[in-house]
Chains A and B, each alone.
Chain A
Amino acid sequence: MNIRHGFLFFAAMIFGIFVMIQAQSFKDVSTLIARDATANVFREIQILKATNENLSDEIARLEETLQKTSDRATTLKTIEQEILLNRMLTGEIEVEGPGVKIEIPSKLSPIFLVDLLNELFNAGAESVQINGLRATDETHGFDTAPSGQMLLAGNLIAEPFTIEAIGDPVTLENILIQPYGIVERMERLLKIDVRVERMERIVMKKVL
């Protein structure tokens, strides 16, 4: 073996390292393109723990409601409170609260909005609207019209898209802008700039 062979070996070794780095970057791209992120498996435990805490809080709230409902004097008041709460959730009345605003400047396929709303609700969003139209049980479902325009529950919505979500602004923003998150995916795949902004007050009109 001489020096020339040594250099050849060293160069080949460097080439091998670059090949592995490139292979890893292909894996990173496929991770980015995939619609379901590769989350740490221990994330499942975090989610279940948080969910059980929320369910436990809901039980406490319902037990209190049951106790008040058992008392004739307070029954009507608890029903009225329940009606108000349900009206907020169904979109029958206007609501407001802090949250985030997401601005998407260009056309996009319905699957991105399906995934974006899923991510927002998964992050704890309490109400979401797209271009001023609230996504409720009665007004949900993204489709494409024959003209190519986006439809939400049969209503035409056009770019630029403004999605507003009421919830914890910090949590919502962090989930959206995390590495390999929905915003990065949209920006890389669609070659656009998506703007995410925390809002102190978002007003959502009632669903007509």
Chain B
Amino acid sequence: MALRLKIIFVILGVLIGAFFSAQLRSSAPTGSFPTDVMQARVDLVKSFVAEQSTYQSRIVELRTAIETMQKKNEKATEKNSLAILETLKEQLGLTVLKDTGLHIFLDDSPSASREEEENMTQALIQASDLRDVINVLRVARAKAIAINHQRIIASTSITAVGNSILVNNVPLAPPFLITAIGDPESLARYLIGADMLQGLLDRKKEHHLTVDIRSKDALTVPVYSGDFRTKFLHPPTP
């Protein structure tokens, strides 16, 4: 009886101690306040995304208009300059590219939900997965790459904020369609054999993620519709 009483006291003590510690760390508010705040956040994100989309369309429109005007004033310019500019724009992702290549389709586990899952669960496609696939495609010398119609350039960042993924600071939702232009066989060989992607392929088996690679004859990678930062960058001072 005495032993049983001691056991009860020990268990109660551990539970109360753990509960007390958890309560001290918890900052959960009461009432509907967090729901209202989260709804306001969702609405704000939606309005920023809509504004971003408008800005990106305007940027593409202006770049096209500038190109048209430059060609129209061809007599006032040197043809050679326009040809040089065109080559540079191709390298920077400022031209549409159409050719053969691969579609790589990535999606979360059918049983997982980004709204409910705790951050960074293995059953969701992570920003790091996208970065690794892009890295392997670059190693494989893909000529152009896009994720859900967002052109990937040298300074593209792919990051996670909560369970959202931002590519070029544009929020993207799964499924993720990566378009890569290049020799399909060579690109696929690099992807399948890449050590860097073994973790993703293991999670595909374990958590039923979708990782699907398809060769395609006619693919289009859109232009980069973001900005270039050159506030600190300049040619060397003589």
Contact = CB atoms under 8 A, between A and B. Distances in A.
A155 B118 CA distance: 40
Interface in A22-37: 24, 34-37
B21 A17 contact: yes
A9 B81 contact: no
Interface string B13-53: 11111111110010000000000000001001100110110
Given A15-B13, A55-B55, A141-B139, A118 B157 contact: yes
Contacts of A42: 41
A144 to B, nearest CB: 7
A41 B160 CA distance: 10
Which secondary structure characterizes the binding site on chain A?
A: helix
Interface residues of B, number: 90
Contacts of B21: 16-17, 20-21
A49 B170 CA distance: 11
Interface string A91-127: 0111111110000000000110011001101101111
A96 to B, nearest CB: 5
B230 interface: yes
Nearest to B63: A62
Which secondary structure characterizes the binding site on chain B?
A: helix
Contacts of A122: 157, 159
A38 B94 CA distance: 33
A12 to B, nearest CB: 3
Contacts of B44: 45
Interface stretch (A79-87, A156-164, A190-198): A79-87
Interface in B65-108: 65-66, 69-70, 73, 76-78, 81-82, 84-85, 88-89, 91-93
Nearest to B226: A55
Contacts of A144: 195
B229 A114 contact: no
B48 A52 contact: yes
- 3 A-B pairs with least C-beta separation: A16-B17, A12-B13, A141-B138
Given A95-B234, A126-B232, A203-B236, 19 more contacts: A15-B13, A15-B14, A34-B120, A38-B119, A42-B41, A43-B161, A47-B161, A51-B170, A69-B69, A83-B85, A86-B88, A125-B155, A137-B91, A140-B138, A141-B141, A143-B139, A166-B232, A167-B229, A168-B232
14 contacts: A11-B13, A15-B17, A20-B18, A44-B45, A45-B45, A52-B52, A66-B62, A90-B91, A90-B92, A94-B236, A114-B132, A118-B131, A126-B155, A126-B232
Interface of A: 5, 8-21, 24, 34-39, 41-45, 47-52, 54-59, 62-63, 65-66, 69-70, 72-73, 75-76, 79-80, 82-90, 92-99, 110-111, 114-115, 118-119, 121-122, 124-127, 135-138, 140-144, 151, 153, 166-168, 203
